[in-house]
């Protein structure tokens, strides 16, 4: 088993990432399809929310990955700042776009869920507003990372921004506890859930499936960023000769 330090070598990383990417992607697609099929056809409607509860099978994984993606950016940024591993910087930049996509998907599915449940598409609720802010922070990171790359920066400013953005994560997590919020409280915990098991059981399939797809997308983007950097370095060498 190669160490994390060994994986920081781009050649070793690519040797593992190339075959692993399609495996993660197609396994994730299979799990998502199974989870969505089961959630749509093998579970009862909720006694309060009716059929709209079924959007949970997409909404919950999207929320999880929207927040988890920023956690990945922050951890990668710390590794980059402390150990100066270039792959950590590449990983942070690769995570940003899929993380922002899932944060946006969380907001869209939440709005679809909220319309029949709350009678409105949007409410300036603590959970909703903080999740929207996270999407804006993602977009800010993407713009900052691109600008830093274009001007030949060393990556420290996007890394610091990636760490600073983690302040939103506990706000999102505990907003339903700290404020009188329209959004329901935490329904799923590590040891128990307030959702009936007859409705809940397909959710692990979609959470696992979307997580594997997220990982595959990150690996694909890392490979693309490394290929782009390699091509740029080759062009610079040719221009210098």
- The pLDDT assigned to 123 comes to 83
Residue bearing the bigger pLDDT, 117 or 83: 83
- Is residue 187 situated within a structural domain? no
Sequence-distant contacts of 221-228: CB under 8 A, at least 24 apart:
221/93, 221/94, 221/95, 221/97, 221/98, 222/13, 222/17, 222/87, 222/90, 222/91, 222/94, 223/14, 223/17, 223/18, 223/21, 225/90, 225/93, 225/94, 226/10, 226/13, 226/14, 226/90
Mean pLDDT, residues 32-49: 91
Q: Is 48 exposed, middle or buried (0-12, 13-18, 19+ CB in 10 A)?
A: exposed
Which of 165, 164, 183 is CA-nearest to residue 175? 183
Q: In the chain, how many domains are there?
A: 1
- Is residue 93 situated within a structural domain? yes
Lowest mean pLDDT across 18-22, 82-86, 204-208: 82-86
Q: Does position 128 have pLDDT exceeding 70, yes or no?
A: yes
In the three-class reduction of DSSP (H, G, I as helix; E, B as strand; rest coil), residue 8 is classed as: coil
Contact 141, 103 (CB under 8 A): no
Q: How far apart are CA 97 and CA 141, in angstroms?
A: 10
- Is residue 126 situated within a structural domain? yes
Q: How far apart are CA 235 and CA 45, in angstroms?
A: 59
The tokens describing 204, both together, are 């692990």
The tokens describing 118, both together, are 């709350």
Q: Does position 191 have pLDDT exceeding 60, yes or no?
A: no
Residue bearing the bigger pLDDT, 101 or 85: 101
- Is residue 5 situated within a structural domain? no
Beta bridge partners of 188: 193
- Is residue 6 situated within a structural domain? no
- Is residue 3 situated within a structural domain? no
In the three-class reduction of DSSP (H, G, I as helix; E, B as strand; rest coil), residue 117 is classed as: helix
DSSP string, 171-212: HHHHHHHHS--SS----B-SS-BSS-HHHHTTHHHHHHHHHH
Give the model confidence (pLDDT) of 60-72 as tens digits.
999 999 999 999 9
Which of 87, 89, 90 is CA-nearest to residue 10? 87
The alpha carbon of residue 87 and the mean position of all alpha carbons in its chain are separated, in whole angstroms, by: 18
- The pLDDT assigned to 1 comes to 44
- What's the domain range around 134? 22-42+50-182+201-240
- Is residue 11 situated within a structural domain? no
Length of the chain, in residues: 241
Give the model confidence (pLDDT) of 135-146 as tens digits.
999 999 999 999
Residue bearing the bigger pLDDT, 197 or 160: 160
Mean pLDDT, residues 100-113: 95
Q: 138-150 burial string, b = 16+ CB within 10 Å, else e?
A: beebbebbeebbe
Mean pLDDT, residues 215-224: 97
Q: 151-172 burial string, b = 16+ CB within 10 Å, else e?
A: eeeebeebbebbbebbebbebb
- Is residue 72 situated within a structural domain? yes
């Amino acid at each position: 088993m190669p160490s994390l330090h060994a994986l920081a070598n781009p050649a070793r990383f690519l040797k593992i990432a190339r075959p692993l990417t399609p495996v993660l992607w197609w396994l994730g697609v299979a799990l998502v399809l199974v989870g969505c099929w089961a959630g749509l056809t093998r579970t009862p409607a909720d006694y309060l929310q009716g059929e709209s509860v079924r959007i949970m099978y997409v909404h919950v994984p999207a929320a999880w990955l929207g927040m988890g993606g920023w956690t990945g950016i922050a951890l990668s940024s710390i590794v980059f700042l402390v150990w100066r591993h270039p792959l950590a910087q590449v990983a942070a930049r690769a995570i940003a776009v899929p993380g922002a996509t899932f944060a946006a998907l969380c907001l869209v599915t939440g709005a679809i869920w909220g319309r029949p449940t709350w009678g409105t598409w949007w409410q300036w609720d603590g959970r909703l507003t903080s999740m929207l802010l996270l999407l804006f922070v993602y977009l800010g990171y993407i713009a900052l990372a691109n600008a830093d790359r274009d001007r030949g920066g060393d990556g420290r400013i996007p890394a610091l921004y990636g760490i600073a953005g983690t302040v939103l994560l506990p706000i999102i997590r505990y907003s339903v506890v700290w404020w009188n919020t329209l959004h329901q409280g935490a329904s799923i915990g590590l040891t128990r859930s307030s959702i009936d098991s007859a409705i809940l059981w397909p959710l692990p399939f979609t959470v696992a499936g979307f997580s594997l797809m997220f990982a595959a997308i990150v690996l694909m983007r890392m490979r693309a960023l490394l290929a782009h950097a390699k091509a740029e370095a080759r062009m610079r060498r040719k221009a210098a000769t």
